[in-house]
Amino acid sequence: MQKHGIIRLENVSKEYDLGEIKIHALSDINLSICNGDFISIMGPSGSGKTTLLDILSTLLRPSKGKVFIEENDTTEMTDEKLSLFRGKKIGTIFQNFNLQVKLTALENVMTPMWIHKVPKNKRIPLATKLLEQVGLGDRLNNKPNQLSGGQMQRVSIARSLAMNPGIIVADEPTGNLDSKSEKQVIDILMNLNKVQGKTIIMVTHEPELGKLAPKRILMRDGKIQEYFGFEKCPKWIKSNETIKESAKK
Amino acid sequence: MNSELFEVAGKNLRKQGVRTYLTLIGIVIGIAAIVALLSVGQGLNYAIEKQFESLGANTIFIIPGGQNGELELTDADISRMESVRGIESIVPIYSESAFMEFKGQKVQVSVSAADADKAGIFDDTGYFDIKEGRMLVKSDSSAILIGENIAENFFKTEIELKNKVLINGKSFRVVGILKSGSQTVGGGGPSTAGTVFMSQDAFEKIFASRSPGIIFAKTYSPNETVEAADKIKFDLEKKYGEKSVFVSSADALLEQVNAFLQLITIFLTGIAGISLIVGGVGITNAMIASVLERTKEIGLLKALGANKKEILSLFLIEAAFIGAIGGIIGIIIGYSLANLIAFVGESAGFALYASMTPEITLGALLFSMLVGMISGFYPALRAANLDPITALRYE
């Protein structure tokens, strides 16, 4: 697979205005991520790692700076355009899974499909395939309360893959899991990176887990303190097709 | 708009179960009350219209008495009316209260009389719908017609055809019984089922003085009705003073009665509408609770790519569904209620109908959906404006 740049942060800062107090969650962050990277973001509590991940996933807009994804400036996009862009380009995995409790595993995986108008006849086969891929082919019709923590997180991973995004962001994906489930989830993520070439960005506070990623960022006080294993992306490709799709909407 | 939002909204409402049903109740009550009132109101309008129509557009009503108190019209007044241009016939109806005696039991009844030869004016109106026996003829000086109600309920023993009764001490033979539900002329007052009818000659025998309670005039053609009515009014007011008599054509009277009925219907519907407002507040309340409860879900949908418009539409559709379902149930209950009111009214001798029209049905359905959407707008906007990060971390 030919490497190229996929995400670029330029002088990104995030401030929270709480009346008299201003909190600087992120200060002047610069970061380049290539396609197929597996990156872990580590750091102590309050260091800004989750804020950085939220900005990378475009769920949060920076106070200053630019966020380019596939060379599209997401900070200039309207909310509507950004929602569509995010839904198609970025898959999100949450620490607490965020599954819809009244829906089955299959229905949870199909949620992004109705939002993005995937033809109805393609949804069940696709969702089934994704659940089989994470080892839950026999749990299709189970609701979250009938699944273990590890299984719920695997449903969440399958859901993040529903629109076949190139980027997967995971916020403490093993934070609520036992060691056996933790291993299963990490294996799936590594497999997605190695076999399918997905770009994985994972926040974790566990150093051992973080070290499994070839590229690592250590954060402290809203700044990137150290970069491990980073190299320049050989080139940057703009996905014009995405812009056209978004504009059409 | 994503057409699948309708399917998702329907599923969401089903998932909420009891809360959805409880929210529906408010709308159901409001719409049922409105539909029932409109249905009975329109049915009443229709019934009155039908009666006036049967009298014809060339009929004039003359009711003596007005602002200056009671007025006794004389035979000379009636003769003068007959000579008014365009008038074909004049039928005065005389009414008095009298005592009726049967098998030793005495009961007070209302007695009415008209010139039997001219009673043809009432043909096809259903006022004199004979159940048993025959209609009166001019020579019937000791024969009477009685209402079904008098025959069956006024006395311990049921009165049958050919039975003799005393009215103010004079003997009369019952030659006909009128059907229950027959109406008095003009659509108001008690039913003919509770009245005794006799010929004008017989009436003169038992009552010392007589003056008509209402006079019916018929013109040769409907084109002459307004002019003839104006002339009769002019003549009578010239003699007895302004507003001493009420004169109106059937059409004009119908218009007035309908306008009055419409006013009452609007007023009552307005009151019923208050319950719909309460129902609407119920929807707002339930939707706000739903938005709070589903905050994380909203955050998730946004994270997965749903935009503001889609979230707004989703919640608005849910609210509109509550309105529509409540509306449909309310319409069914409303019509059932209207039919029940009509049935009870008819049993009591009043001509009440429940009218089911596409206008009421469609109007009520659209209105209930609109109430749902207006009530759901604020919660929907709140949901649409939620920040995805805050929503996802909401506890």
Decide if pLDDT at A130 tops 70: yes
Q: Taking residues B48-66, what's their average pLDDT?
A: 77
Given pLDDT bands bounded at 50, 70 and 90, which one contains residue A37?
very high
Nearest neighbour of B305 by CB, restricted to A60, A94, A112: A112
Q: Taking residues B110-133, what's their average pLDDT?
A: 71
Distance CA A139, CA A132 (A): 9
pLDDT of B187 reads: 40
pLDDT of B185 reads: 46
CA closest to A161 among chain B residues: B304
Interchain CB distance below 8 Å, A102 and B15: yes
Nearest Cα of chain B lies from the Cα of A224 at a distance, in angstroms, of 22
pLDDT of B218 reads: 86
Distance CA B300, CA B296 (A): 6
Decide if pLDDT at B312 tops 80: yes
pLDDT of A142 reads: 95
Question: pLDDT by residue (tens digit) across B166-187?
Answer: 998 889 999 988 876 544 444 4
Distance CA B167, CA B109 (A): 9
Interchain CB distance below 8 Å, A115 and B310: yes
Report the residue count for chain B: 395
Interchain CB distance below 8 Å, B392 and A102: no
Confirm whether the ipTM is greater than 0.90: no
Distance CA A40, CA B185 (A): 94
Distance CA A116, CA B295 (A): 21
Question: pLDDT by residue (tens digit) across A12-33?
Answer: 999 988 888 888 999 999 999 9
> What angle, 0 to 180 degrees and rounded to 10, lies between the N-to-C axes of helices B358-384 and B308-347?
150
pLDDT of A249 reads: 39
Question: pLDDT by residue (tens digit) across B226-283?
Answer: 888 889 989 888 888 888 888 888 777 778 888 888 888 888 888 878 888 888 888 8
pLDDT of B379 reads: 92
Compute the radius of gyration of chain B from its Cα atoms.
31
pLDDT of A199 reads: 95
pLDDT of A1 reads: 67
Given pLDDT bands bounded at 50, 70 and 90, which one contains residue B1?
low
Q: Is B31:B327 a contact under the CB 8 Å cutoff?
A: yes
Decide if pLDDT at B351 tops 80: no
DSSP per-residue codes, A175-208: TTS-HHHHHHHHHHHHHHHHHH--EEEEE-S-HH
Q: Residue type for B167, please? A: I
The model carries a pTM of: 0.70
Decide if pLDDT at B66 tops 70: no
Question: pLDDT by residue (tens digit) across A45-98?
Answer: 889 999 999 999 999 999 999 999 988 999 999 988 999 999 999 999 998 999
Helix (H, G, I), strand (E, B), or coil: what is residue B284?
A: helix
pLDDT of B254 reads: 78
- Comparing A21-25, B42-46, B126-130, B157-161, the range with the smallest average pLDDT is B126-130
Higher pLDDT, residue B200 or A173: A173
pLDDT of B120 reads: 62
Q: Residue type for B243, please? A: K
Positive or negative, the CA dihedral A44, A50, A56, A60 is negative
pLDDT of A194 reads: 93
- Comparing A111-125, A231-245, B28-42, B212-226, the range with the smallest average pLDDT is A231-245
Residues of B with CB under 8 A from a CB of A: 2, 4, 7-8, 15, 296-297, 299-310, 388-389, 392
Q: Taking residues B180-200, what's their average pLDDT?
A: 60
pLDDT of A223 reads: 94
Q: Taking residues B365-374, what's their average pLDDT?
A: 91
Interchain CB distance below 8 Å, A117 and B388: no
- Comparing A119-123, A128-132, B202-206, B229-233, the range with the smallest average pLDDT is B202-206
Q: Taking residues B100-125, what's their average pLDDT?
A: 78
Decide if pLDDT at B287 tops 80: yes
A200 Cβ neighbours under 8 A, 6+ residues apart: A37, A38, A39, A168, A170, A189, A192, A193, A213
Distance CA B9, CA B81 (A): 71
Nearest Cα of chain A lies from the Cα of B18 at a distance, in angstroms, of 15
Decide if pLDDT at B188 tops 80: no
Mean of per-residue pLDDT scores for chain A: 90
Contacts B297 to A, Cβ<8 Å: 100
Helix (H, G, I), strand (E, B), or coil: what is residue B144?
A: strand
Nearest Cα of chain B lies from the Cα of A231 at a distance, in angstroms, of 30
Interchain CB distance below 8 Å, B4 and A114: yes
Decide if pLDDT at B350 tops 80: no
pLDDT of B129 reads: 72
The answer to whether A111 contacts chain B (CB < 8 Å) is yes
- Comparing B102-106, B119-123, B194-198, the range with the smallest average pLDDT is B119-123
Given pLDDT bands bounded at 50, 70 and 90, which one contains residue A134?
very high
Given pLDDT bands bounded at 50, 70 and 90, which one contains residue A246?
very low
DSSP per-residue codes, A51-93: HHHHHHTTSS--SEEEEEETTEEGGGS-HHHHHHHHHHHEEEE
- Comparing A237-246, B113-122, B191-200, the range with the smallest average pLDDT is A237-246
Q: Is A179:A186 a contact under the CB 8 Å cutoff?
A: no
**Torsion on CA atoms A124, A130, A136, A139, rounded to nearest 10:** -20
A199 Cβ neighbours under 8 A, 6+ residues apart: A6, A7, A33, A34, A35, A36, A37, A38, A39, A166, A167, A168, A193
Nearest neighbour of B308 by CB, restricted to A79, A87, A114: A79
> What angle, 0 to 180 degrees and rounded to 10, lies between the N-to-C axes of helices B18-55 and B308-347?
50
Mean of per-residue pLDDT scores for chain B: 84
Given pLDDT bands bounded at 50, 70 and 90, which one contains residue B111?
confident
Decide if pLDDT at B372 tops 70: yes
Q: Taking residues A105-126, what's their average pLDDT?
A: 94
Given pLDDT bands bounded at 50, 70 and 90, which one contains residue B8?
confident
Interface test with B, best of A79, A115, A117, A152 (most B CBs within 10 A): A115
Q: Taking residues B388-392, what's their average pLDDT?
A: 90
Nearest neighbour of A59 by CB, restricted to B7, B306, B389: B389
DSSP per-residue codes, B158-196: PP-TT-EEEETTEEEEEEEEEPTT---TTS-SS-GGGEE
Nearest Cα of chain B lies from the Cα of A87 at a distance, in angstroms, of 4
Given pLDDT bands bounded at 50, 70 and 90, which one contains residue B59?
confident
Distance CA B219, CA A132 (A): 91
CA closest to B16 among chain A residues: A102
